[in-house]
Chain A
């Protein structure tokens, strides 16, 4: 417990709790199950992408192209579902496969040619998005199949609010939950997960110890691609419209959430729990601003301030730790 209190995750949790308490004092509607479920549904998209980018960041890389990947996967999924039919499972598999291929291409370029990941993925972002715009001409898709529309309304269980409106845990949130649990086990209890931390910590040492560096790199970008594919489906379920430009531009929000959750941009650090908290923090701040009646002109100021304070505080804490030079093997392992 004491060790937990020193972690970054704990600090983020404290910030979330303080903010939640403050928001609830102003507007009791914040701390309701209904608002919670609404947020879990809305932020499923960001949450799934965050898990993907977490793997990339831990491995010491970065991916800017995932929003473009998600868009391509979403578009292909929508066109095929409309033209050839199918069901939720085929849609999901198709989008995941498209994402996997585009992600694997990133991984191949980065591991084979050793081009800096940021350059590679900026290039592939433009490439993927550009090709999609050329082929589709920027056309939007409104007429998604009935079974697709209906799926978005499914709730795992339904409650009724005092005002008489039904609400509950959306099936969309389950995607996020399942992926989060899988990612947690993958990172923590498999050799694969250890390998990702290893190459992010020190790629040269990892190679000498015998980790298959190239294959691990291809894996993290492919995994990011798969997450982007699933996120694309989630986005289509949430908005019921497929637009070639609706996801592009959200990359930085997602990366900010993961960094808030303790992942390091230089690799080797980060956890699924922290990532979850990072997304929650962004969600609480954005949601809370409307609920406490802050005028919209202040939104960006608040988001920026929360990120600065949280990351700055952690960085300061980290520096202190460095000077103390505590060698804690168990903590290293848990990280």
Chain B
């Protein structure tokens, strides 16, 4: 009983403070735009880095910008978060979709309320206002295949990991790369349909071990999703196959460094997610201020942009090798 009284007292003491703090904050931010970035999954290095960009833009542009995301890559949770933001009445929602189709209805709802929708890593997304791509996705897919061929040669068996079968960008790269490979590298043979394990290192490792048993002639693995390549590299190291099977794909430099250096991973391709966070927030503010897409020529600190319909493209693709892996700073 005493404890309950104590708890009630504590709550009563804290409550007014909290309300007061909340009210004050709203007053100060009342004139600021509220621009929220919703990422695929919170707390993984990739999106932590993206958040740095959101925070930097919030400071530079004097807007109330921040980042949220579900605890696992769950499309339903993301939809729920967007719904909450709509009822909260934010000015713009920037999002990296887990599932393009799942989000369409809520995007519709947001736009009816006059909320701006900006996507990243989802160029064909229906229901968006603008999509921003830090890389040319067709080029990115092709480049990944070029790199695979560089390390495994243009003949032999390989497999593809994606983060999930509904992740738009991973599958777009895979589609583009496969089309490209059909024309340019007819000697390559994809052993099985793409495997969804790119966001779970342990699963990627397990899948790689299984692939090696199923396809003993496997020569390469392409990993989309930043945990796929490290998992594959780990499995190869364990089986004494480091360097004998090529592993290329997108990774966090800091995470991939040991694998690149010991040769169990061959090559990384990516862009800096910080640039993405910054660009999303910058463009959101630009559009909220009444700027027109056609007039957008560059994003400060990021570079020149090309506007193609409702997709904004910035060329910020980077290659990660064992020589330059330590120079990225994340």
A and B: bona fide binding partners: yes
Q: Which residue numbers of A lie inside 8 Å of B, CB to CB?
A: 27, 29-30, 32, 34-35, 38, 42, 45, 129, 133, 137-140, 142, 153, 163-167, 235, 238-241, 243-246, 248-249, 286-287, 290-291, 293, 295-297, 299
B92 at the A/B interface (Cβ < 8 Å)? Answer: no
**CB of A103, distance to nearest CB on chain B (Å):** 21
A-B pairs, top 6 by smallest CB distance, nearest first, are A138-B43, A290-B210, A29-B213, A295-B193, A249-B72, A296-B195
User: Which of B44, B193, B214 is within 8 Å of A291, CB to CB?
Assistant: B214
In the bound complex, residues from chain B placing their C-beta under 8 Å from that of A137 are: 48
User: Which of A27, A243, A244 is within 8 Å of B213, CB to CB?
Assistant: A27
Q: Contacts A166-B240, A291-B210, A296-B196; is A248 near B254 (CB within 8 Å)?
A: no
Whether B42 contacts A296 by the Cβ 8 Å rule is no
Whether A296 contacts B210 by the Cβ 8 Å rule is no
Q: Once the chains are docked, how many angstroms separate the CA of A291 from the CA of B209?
A: 10
Q: Once the chains are docked, how many angstroms separate the CA of A131 from the CA of B106?
A: 31
Whether B48 contacts A142 by the Cβ 8 Å rule is no
Q: Contacts A241-B230, A245-B43; is A290 near B207 (CB within 8 Å)?
A: yes
**CB of B198, distance to nearest CB on chain A (Å):** 11
Whether A140 contacts B211 by the Cβ 8 Å rule is no
24 contacts between A and B (CB under 8 A): A42-B206, A133-B43, A238-B205, A239-B202, A239-B205, A239-B231, A240-B234, A241-B201, A241-B255, A243-B44, A244-B43, A245-B42, A246-B201, A249-B72, A286-B206, A287-B206, A290-B192, A290-B195, A291-B213, A293-B214, A295-B193, A296-B193, A297-B165, A297-B193
In the bound complex, residues from chain B placing their C-beta under 8 Å from that of A286 are: 206
| A-B contact number at CB 8 A | 92
B300 at the A/B interface (Cβ < 8 Å)? Answer: no
**CB of A124, distance to nearest CB on chain B (Å):** 15
Q: Once the chains are docked, how many angstroms separate the CA of A30 from the CA of B209?
A: 11
Whether A235 contacts B214 by the Cβ 8 Å rule is no
Q: Once the chains are docked, how many angstroms separate the CA of A238 from the CA of B230?
A: 12
Most-contacted residue by chain A among B193, B206, B234 (CB, 10 A) = B206
In the bound complex, residues from chain A placing their C-beta under 8 Å from that of B192 are: 290, 293, 295-296
B71 at the A/B interface (Cβ < 8 Å)? Answer: yes
Q: Once the chains are docked, how many angstroms separate the CA of A286 from the CA of B258?
A: 29
In the bound complex, residues from chain A placing their C-beta under 8 Å from that of B16 are: none
Whether B210 contacts A165 by the Cβ 8 Å rule is no
Whether A245 contacts B72 by the Cβ 8 Å rule is yes
Q: Once the chains are docked, how many angstroms separate the CA of A137 from the CA of B45?
A: 10
Residues of B in contact (CB 8 Å), total 37
User: Which of B42, B205, B258 is within 8 Å of A138, CB to CB?
Assistant: B42
In the bound complex, residues from chain B placing their C-beta under 8 Å from that of A293 are: 192, 214
Whether A42 contacts B195 by the Cβ 8 Å rule is no
User: Which of A32, A42, A287, A297 is within 8 Å of B202, CB to CB?
Assistant: A42
- Complex: chain A residue closest to B207, CB-CB: A290
- Complex: chain B residue closest to A42, CB-CB: B206
Is the contact region of chain A dominated by helix, strand, or loop, or is it mixed?
loop
In the bound complex, residues from chain A placing their C-beta under 8 Å from that of B299 are: none
B239 at the A/B interface (Cβ < 8 Å)? Answer: yes
Whether A140 contacts B72 by the Cβ 8 Å rule is no
B232 at the A/B interface (Cβ < 8 Å)? Answer: no
Contact with A along B255-280 (1 / 0, CB 8 A): 10110000000000000000000000
Q: Once the chains are docked, how many angstroms separate the CA of A190 from the CA of B242?
A: 49
**CB of A44, distance to nearest CB on chain B (Å):** 11
**CB of A300, distance to nearest CB on chain B (Å):** 10
User: Which of B42, B214, B241 is within 8 Å of A27, CB to CB?
Assistant: B214
In the bound complex, residues from chain A placing their C-beta under 8 Å from that of B200 are: 246
In the bound complex, residues from chain A placing their C-beta under 8 Å from that of B45 are: 140
Whether B210 contacts A287 by the Cβ 8 Å rule is yes
Whether B211 contacts A290 by the Cβ 8 Å rule is yes
Most-contacted residue by chain B among A35, A167, A246 (CB, 10 A) = A246
In the bound complex, residues from chain B placing their C-beta under 8 Å from that of A243 are: 43-44
Whether B209 contacts A38 by the Cβ 8 Å rule is yes
Q: Once the chains are docked, how many angstroms separate the CA of A238 from the CA of B237?
A: 13
**CB of A303, distance to nearest CB on chain B (Å):** 13
B329 at the A/B interface (Cβ < 8 Å)? Answer: no
**CB of A158, distance to nearest CB on chain B (Å):** 12
Whether A245 contacts B71 by the Cβ 8 Å rule is yes
Q: Once the chains are docked, how many angstroms separate the CA of A45 from the CA of B202?
A: 11
Q: Once the chains are docked, how many angstroms separate the CA of A235 from the CA of B240?
A: 21
B79 at the A/B interface (Cβ < 8 Å)? Answer: no
B216 at the A/B interface (Cβ < 8 Å)? Answer: yes
B194 at the A/B interface (Cβ < 8 Å)? Answer: yes
B188 at the A/B interface (Cβ < 8 Å)? Answer: no
**CB of B37, distance to nearest CB on chain A (Å):** 15
In the bound complex, residues from chain A placing their C-beta under 8 Å from that of B196 are: 296, 299
**CB of A48, distance to nearest CB on chain B (Å):** 14
**CB of B256, distance to nearest CB on chain A (Å):** 10
Most-contacted residue by chain A among B41, B193, B254 (CB, 10 A) = B193
Contact with A along B46-73 (1 / 0, CB 8 A): 0010000000000000000000000110
Whether A246 contacts B202 by the Cβ 8 Å rule is yes
Whether A248 contacts B44 by the Cβ 8 Å rule is no
Q: Once the chains are docked, how many angstroms separate the CA of A153 from the CA of B44?
A: 26
Most-contacted residue by chain A among B209, B230, B258 (CB, 10 A) = B209
User: Which of B48, B211, B239 is within 8 Å of A139, CB to CB?
Assistant: B48
**CB of B83, distance to nearest CB on chain A (Å):** 20
- Complex: chain B residue closest to A297, CB-CB: B165
In the bound complex, residues from chain B placing their C-beta under 8 Å from that of A299 are: 196
Contact with A along B236-258 (1 / 0, CB 8 A): 00111100000000000011011
- Complex: chain B residue closest to A27, CB-CB: B214
- Complex: chain A residue closest to B41, CB-CB: A245
**CB of B161, distance to nearest CB on chain A (Å):** 9
Q: Once the chains are docked, how many angstroms separate the CA of A138 from the CA of B252?
A: 15
In the bound complex, residues from chain B placing their C-beta under 8 Å from that of A129 are: 71
Q: Contacts A244-B43, A290-B214; is A296 near B202 (CB within 8 Å)?
A: no
Besides A42-B202, A142-B254, 17 other A-B contacts (C-beta < 8 A): A29-B216, A133-B42, A133-B43, A140-B255, A142-B255, A165-B239, A165-B240, A165-B241, A239-B202, A246-B200, A287-B206, A290-B195, A293-B192, A296-B193, A296-B195, A296-B196, A297-B193
